[in-house]
Amino acid sequence: MRKTYLLNIEGKNRDRLLDASKHDIRKYVKRERSRALPAGVDFWDFDCKFGSNEATASGVHFAALMGLIDTVAQEGSEQFYVEIVTKHGHRTAKPQGAKNVATDDEDFDE
């Protein structure tokens, strides 16, 4: 998915356009994640780019995408560009010395 979203269209509410763009992105990701996985693939991963236009877009992590969209909207920009490309994801084993944060806080009392 490669698309430039306009946030200032005459006769349309800016907040509604922002919500529609986020919905469109989430809908695309949900559709891609529901596809059947090829043999040897653990999950669908995404390469993302974000910027004010296609020429200035830079690579970002998928989890940071919605926050960047909110930031652009708060700054008053008129448009933003999003590129999301699906790729194969492979899980890797955790190192032996890595600790699980959830089990290390056993002395936590509520």
Look at residue 108 in the predicted model and tell me its pLDDT: 44
Question: Contact 12/32 with Cβ under 8 angstroms?
Answer: no
- How far is 103 from 20, CA to CA, in rounded Å? 40
pTM above 0.85, yes or no: no
- Sequence-ordered list of residues with C-beta below 8 angstroms from that of 70, at least 6 positions apart, any chain: none
Look at residue 103 in the predicted model and tell me its pLDDT: 53
For the chain, which residues score pLDDT lower than 50?
A: 105, 108-110
24-39 pLDDT tens trace: 999 999 999 999 999 9
Look at residue 95 in the predicted model and tell me its pLDDT: 84
Cα separations in angstroms, 58 against 48, 54, 55, 74, 81? 8, 9, 9, 20, 10
- Sequence-ordered list of residues with C-beta below 8 angstroms from that of 51, at least 6 positions apart, any chain: 57, 58, 80, 81
Look at residue 110 in the predicted model and tell me its pLDDT: 45
Look at residue 37 in the predicted model and tell me its pLDDT: 94
